[in-house]
Amino acid sequence: MTIKKCGKYTVLPGFADVHVHLREPGFSYKETIYTGSRAAARGGFTTVCTMPNLDPFPDTLDNLNVQLGIIRKDSVIDIIPYGCITKGEAGSELSDMEAMAPYVAAFSDDGKGVQLGGMMKDAMERAKSLGKMIVAHCEDNSLLDGGYIHKGKYALEHGHKGICSESEWKQIERDLELAKETGCAYHVCHISAKESVQIIREAKKDGIDVSCETAPHYLLLDDSFLKEDGRFKMNPPLRDKSDREALLEGICDGTIDIVATDHAPHSKEEKSKGLKGSAMGIVGLETAFPLLYTYLVKQGVISLEKLLDLMCYSPRKRFGIPEKDDFTVFDLENEYTVDPSLFLSKGKATPFEGWKVYGKCMLTVCSGQAAYKDKDLEEDICSRIFSE
């Protein structure tokens, strides 16, 4: 669907997020399908793809069915799970990819890089035979030094070691050679480094079947924003201003195909131990569109149409997610302050707390049903939207 106006509201196609953690089964104290799907709907999302670092891991059809059963029972939007690349995400044996293939968005060991090149090649060959994509969290463990924050001057001021950019781009470089050799469709999760952007740009020119995503926090923040607070800790970490500028250039020139939130909720206790001790991950489903609309679209960096391509059309096309008549309704002139206490997600950790944004979600409709409806939505407008 195209952008439509209905009174003071703007009707947009439902967004699709190909990288979220809804934590169930296994970690429902952090998030559930019930709470996460409602948070997604409040953010304008009608489809999300859930990452497989769960308990049980979705590495067999029986394990996957545990998650699918909860989705059918509790979700208000469309949820498509990932299957693991390797059993238990341990990197040593392929999962039961054949049995899971009809039911998953793609295969990923998100949260861990596949360390062995031979194992990744086997996975790519298997995925290609099944018509599925390999989606990679790229992190070379041999290049980690036990720290968690980017190796920049601001990180060092906080007294932390760092996850170097090379740990990301080196594994991307390896995987692109394997993707070229096998012909497998390959997608890179949450890129954060300028080298990653350039490597993927050159791979696309070379005809390799590669796509990639970044997240709102990498586009709007760099390590100069760091505070000694767990809500600034994520993986990959915030990097240098030059990395952020390269990512912005990448979305403008088409190197970066998708914006995904990497919504990663944790408990308050897990995020209250500062930069060093807190769990890695922040929430993003309820803030992604307002932040990017306010700080990229309204400031002329990209158009609204480009933002919709990044958050709706491109993820659906790349992941083979069917186009539907799902839609979301925003009041784009509504200005408010990001307040985590109002989130529907169980997770409250966001580095954007206190930021002023425009764009309040008033209604989200999935499969003809209201998945989210703001209490202030005018009923006559609501009726007009449904009638049209």
Encoded tokens for 160 = 């932390």
Pair 283, 343: CB distance under 8 Å: yes
* Confidence at residue 4, expressed as pLDDT on a 0 to 100 scale: 92
**pLDDT digit string (tens) for 258-276?**
999 999 999 999 999 998 8
Arithmetic mean of pLDDT over the chain: 94
* Confidence at residue 384, expressed as pLDDT on a 0 to 100 scale: 72
Residue 149 has pLDDT above 80, yes or no: no
Instruction: Determine the Cα–Cα distance for residues 303 and 296; give it in Å rounded to an integer.
Output: 8
Residue 156 has pLDDT above 80, yes or no: no
pLDDT band at 336 (very low <50, low <70, confident <90, very high): very high
Phi-psi category of residue 82: left, alpha or beta, with phi > 0 → left and psi -120 to 50 → alpha: beta
* Confidence at residue 157, expressed as pLDDT on a 0 to 100 scale: 56
Considering only 4-13, 121-130, 258-267, 291-300, which range has the smallest mean pLDDT?
4-13
The whole-model pTM stands at 0.95
* Confidence at residue 158, expressed as pLDDT on a 0 to 100 scale: 54
Catalytic pick among 110, 175, 257, 262: 262
Who has greater pLDDT, 175 or 385? 175
Residue 142 has pLDDT above 70, yes or no: yes
* Confidence at residue 241, expressed as pLDDT on a 0 to 100 scale: 96
Encoded tokens for 39 = 């948070």
pLDDT band at 87 (very low <50, low <70, confident <90, very high): very high
* Confidence at residue 382, expressed as pLDDT on a 0 to 100 scale: 65
pLDDT band at 7 (very low <50, low <70, confident <90, very high): confident
**pLDDT digit string (tens) for 93-137?**
999 999 999 999 999 999 999 999 999 999 999 999 999 999 999
In sequence order, what are the residues at sequence separation of 6 or more whose Cβ sits closer than 8 angstroms to the Cβ of residue 146?
Answer: 161
Residue 383 has pLDDT above 90, yes or no: no
Residue 387 has pLDDT above 70, yes or no: no
Give the pLDDT mean for 334-359.
Answer: 98
Instruction: Determine the Cα–Cα distance for residues 323 and 206; give it in Å rounded to an integer.
Output: 29
* Confidence at residue 307, expressed as pLDDT on a 0 to 100 scale: 98
Q: To the nearest whole percent, how much of the chain has pLDDT over 70?
A: 94
Instruction: Determine the Cα–Cα distance for residues 76 and 371; give it in Å rounded to an integer.
Output: 5
In sequence order, what are the residues at sequence separation of 6 or more whose Cβ sits closer than 8 angstroms to the Cβ of residue 248?
Answer: 219, 301
Who has greater pLDDT, 151 or 262? 262
* Confidence at residue 150, expressed as pLDDT on a 0 to 100 scale: 47
Residue 155 has pLDDT above 80, yes or no: no
Instruction: Determine the Cα–Cα distance for residues 319 and 321; give it in Å rounded to an integer.
Output: 6
Question: So what's the architecture of 15-325 in CATH?
Answer: Alpha-Beta Barrel (3.20)
* Confidence at residue 159, expressed as pLDDT on a 0 to 100 scale: 52
Told to judge if 262 belongs to the known catalytic residues of this protein, a careful annotator would answer: yes
Q: To the nearest whole percent, how much of the chain has pLDDT over 90?
A: 88
Considering only 148-162, 180-194, 314-328, 330-344, which range has the smallest mean pLDDT?
148-162
C-alpha separations of 307 from 12, 226, 247, 315 in Å? 11, 26, 14, 12
Pair 149, 162: CB distance under 8 Å: yes
In sequence order, what are the residues at sequence separation of 6 or more whose Cβ sits closer than 8 angstroms to the Cβ of residue 221?
Answer: 238, 244, 351
